[in-house]
Amino acid sequence: MVTTIQLKPETKARLDDVKLHPRETYDETLNRLLDMAFDPEPLSEESMRRIEEALEDIRADRVRPFEEYVQERGL
């Protein structure tokens, strides 16, 4: 089944710009972009907890400059 959609010329131009190759269809392009934007596997409770802890550290100013971290490790 094929469906027609309406796009503004600017939107079509943007889609053309993100095609991997000229023969990539708009369907392929849109599906690739949608796959990049949507992760069907949600974060685990552990990951969510660790993210919240990190955000709390940032809010409480329990952080240090990246440059300091790099220098400490000799990178």
Each residue of 42-69: pLDDT tens digit?
899 999 999 999 999 999 999 999 999 9
pLDDT in tens, 6-23: 999 999 999 999 999 999
Nearest CA among 18, 39, 21, 13 for reference residue 30? 18
Residue 40 pLDDT level (bands cut at 50, 70, 90): confident
3-class DSSP assignment, residue 69? helix
Return the pLDDT at 19. 97
**CA 7 distance to own-chain centroid:** 23
- Answer whether 29's CB lies under 8 Å from 19's CB: yes
pTM of structure: 0.56
Alpha-carbon span 63 to 53, nearest angstrom: 12
